[in-house]
Amino acid sequence: MHLPIDYETLRLIWWLFLGVLLIGFAIMDGFDLGVGMLLPVVARSDLERRVMLNAIGPVWDGNQVWLILGGGAVFAAFPTIYATAFSGFYLAMFLTLLALILRPVGFDFRNKLQDRRWRAVWDTGLFIAGFVPALVFGVAFGNLLQGVPFSFDADLRVTYDGGLLGLLNPFGLLAGLLSVAMLAMHGAAYLVVKTEGEIQARARRALRLAAPAAIALFVVAGLWVAWGLDGYVIASAVDGAGPSNPLAKEVARVPGAWLDNYGRHPWMLAAPLLGLGGAALAWLLAAGRRELPVFLATAASVLGIVATAGVSLFPFLMPSSLEPKASLTVWDASSSQFTLFVMLIATVIFLPIVLLYTGFVFRVLRGKVTAGYVEKNSSSLY
């Protein structure tokens, strides 16, 4: 069947879509995770904690749709990535899932009893539900940049030679801490927009600590990638429209190779510059009275930091440290051309609906959550 878009272009489009969905998750659900992490830092009383929780309460579950969309896109567009990642990161993903389960349970059960210890337990659960996913997602990206220990046999059956503790290596932990600082900064910016008084003031102070931490960790990670990590390069001809066979190529590990894309495509430098510039701008704006620009600046920083990892890796999606030629790329880990085309049509139809609905929800729920409002509606709020 002749399709109007060639296979190579469809693969590139789906790489871009995957990036959009991951960035969408980091921005939209990222501030929810950040607020959860800041719960024991910004709030000083039960009422203040309730204000923070009600700032994200109406939107957190809708924001998590971006995670589901991203997972679905990987499953349908790059099934080999999905299968290999679940083999390699299974325990890490299971740990993340357990942490994420604490979030709806914490929201639903926290306010059932007035007992201080009861609420403290669920507050701790909500903190874990913010911190653990943020750390694990960063650790995962850090391990992708180093290469993951997997290989394929002649029948393309995957074998993974590693474990959860192996993921917690120095560079992986550095990337995890970067993710934590980045999302704490973003969550603090959201609280600046949605709260007032002492909570807002403490959120500003938290942002002015988290933003420099994110900048410093991002710079250290960049220097480590440049001078301390081997990158991957395809050392043979690649047919962008060929069948998905990851073993039909040769791959070499070269020091500093993750920076090659910036030399070939200088426009890609916009990603790290946006990551640094957004965080720096948020730090400057946090000292003033501006609110929404602070949040937009941290969102731009999140976009830039996540995009930096993506454009540095391209065309690799999941490099293999055990057998470099088995590394999965945009060109050899995708579904069929027909599948990608049908999914493209579905995405073009439904993604704008998701965006419009998200915009509608945030418009309806605009405004600040105040202590007076929470006290007045105590029985119906979190």
State the average pLDDT for the chain.
Answer: 91
Structure tokens belonging to residue 85: 């990642």
Tens of pLDDT, residue by residue over 145-182, are 999 999 988 888 888 887 777 788 999 999 999 999 99
pTM of this structure: 0.94
Of 382 and 311, more confident = 311
Of 279 and 155, more confident = 279
Q: Which of 317, 324, 315 lies closest to 251, judged by CA?
A: 324
Tens of pLDDT, residue by residue over 186-220, are 999 999 999 999 999 999 999 999 999 999 999 99
Tens of pLDDT, residue by residue over 62-84, are 888 888 888 888 999 999 998 88
DSSP letters for 66-87: HHHHHHHHHHHH-HHHHHHHHH
Tens of pLDDT, residue by residue over 290-342, are 899 999 999 999 999 999 999 999 999 999 999 999 999 999 999 999 999 99
Judged against a pLDDT cut of 90, whether residue 36 lies above it is answered with yes
Judged against a pLDDT cut of 90, whether residue 233 lies above it is answered with yes
Of 370 and 272, more confident = 272
Tens of pLDDT, residue by residue over 108-137, are 888 888 888 999 999 999 999 999 999 999
The pLDDT, as a whole number, for residue 134 is 96
The pLDDT, as a whole number, for residue 86 is 79
Burial zone of 58 (CB within 10 Å; 0-12 exposed, 13-18 middle, 19+ buried):
middle
The pLDDT, as a whole number, for residue 1 is 62
Judged against a pLDDT cut of 70, whether residue 380 lies above it is answered with no
The pLDDT, as a whole number, for residue 204 is 96
Over range 262-284, report the average pLDDT: 96
- β-pairing, 316-318 vs 328-329, is antiparallel
CA 234 to chain centre: 27
Cβ neighbours of 105 (radius 10 Å): 13
Over range 30-45, report the average pLDDT: 94
Over range 13-26, report the average pLDDT: 94
Which ranges constitute the DSSP H helices of the chain? 7-28, 30-42, 46-56, 60-63, 65-77, 79-88, 90-109, 116-146, 164-167, 170-194, 197-228, 260-264, 270-285, 292-313, 337-364, 371-376
Token pair 């309730």: residue: 50
Residue 98, amino acid: L
